[in-house]
Amino acid sequence: MRPTSYRTPDSQGFAFTPENEALARRIVARYPAGKQQSAVIPLLDLGQRQNGNFCSPGVIEHVAAFLGMPPIRVYEVASFYTMFNKQPVGKYLLQVCRTTPCWLRGSDAVTKAIKDFAHIEKGETSADGLFTLVEVECMGACCNAPMVQINDDYFEDLTAESMTRLLQDLKAGLPVQKGSQSGRIGSARQDGPHTLNHLPEGAYPEGILRGDPPPAPPAPPAEPPKS
């Protein structure tokens, strides 16, 4: 590892903040001696987050110098994974799933809602710098299709209308509800349970059933009769 004072003299001018450099060193310390370069992915992610969600050449050069790697090897990693953005993106990166379950459930309408609201096409960023639209393949939320990943969070069971409301709230700086936008609990059926409707009598561990009532407080001990 480099000494604590090390800063890469790259032409792009990127360097970890002191807090992120300390975090990067803790990440690298998790790996066995001689295997510290295995930390390249978490360090690229750390640099991208610090750099406005943009894995720039400066981020790549800094991570390479930090780990003692040739920059081309770090670029090979960054260019392989779609999670690393090699071009600047907006404050909100909208990744619309286009795989079959989402497409059958209306992802085209969701995409159109984004285009109409932000006045962008796929791969573009809105004029106000807030929204970037990209299409991606399956992200594993097929039960709750169609879905969009916005930065780190999933937004599921979308319609054109609910997608537009989400964008309005994000633009206004309002809090938004993550997960299902239809009120569904997890990936449960939207029309209610169709199995285990009639459970046998008996005690179940607390929390095993959705909607378990809170446990009743224990009854106070009975006072002994007064003589």
* Per-residue model confidence as pLDDT tens digits over 208-224: 555 555 666 777 777 77
Q: Which run of H or E residues covers position 148?
A: strand 148-150
pLDDT for the residue numbered 13:
83
Residue in 203, 184, 182 with CA at minimum distance from that of residue 193: 184
Residue pair 89/54 in contact by the 8 Å Cβ criterion: yes
Strand partners, 92: 131
Structurally, at CATH architecture level, domain 92-180 sits in 3-Layer(aba) Sandwich (3.40)
Q: Are 140 and 101 in contact (CB under 8 A)?
A: no
pLDDT in tens, 134-154: 999 999 999 999 999 999 999
**What confidence tier does 8 reach under pLDDT thresholds 50, 70, 90?**
very low
CATH number for 18-80 (one of 3.30.700, 1.10.260, 1.10.150, 1.10.10): it is 1.10.10
pLDDT at 185: 81
Q: For 13-27, 124-138, 140-154, 172-186, which range has the lowest pLDDT when averaged over its residues?
A: 172-186
pLDDT higher than 50, residue 1: no
Domain boundaries defined on the chain: 18-80, 92-180
CA–CA dist 136, 82 (Å, integer)? 9
What is the C-alpha to C-alpha distance for residues 102 and 92, in angstroms, rounded to an integer? 21
Q: How confident is the model at residue 195 (pLDDT cuts 50, 70, 90)?
A: confident
Q: Is the Cβ–Cβ distance between 132 and 149 less than 8 Å?
A: no
184 has a pLDDT exceeding 90: no
Percent of the chain with pLDDT over 90: 74
> Cβ(135)–Cβ(98) under 8 Å?
yes
Counting residues of the chain whose pLDDT is more than 70, the rounded percentage is 87
What would the mean pLDDT of 106-112 be, rounded to a whole number?
Answer: 97
Tracing tokens 């770090």 back to the chain, one arrives at 74
Mean pLDDT of 193-218: 66
Q: What is the mean pLDDT of residues 61-84?
A: 96
In this prediction the pTM is 0.76
**Residue 49 phi, psi dihedral angles, 5° rounding:** -65, -40
What is the per-residue pLDDT for 205? 63
Write the single-letter amino acid at 66: F
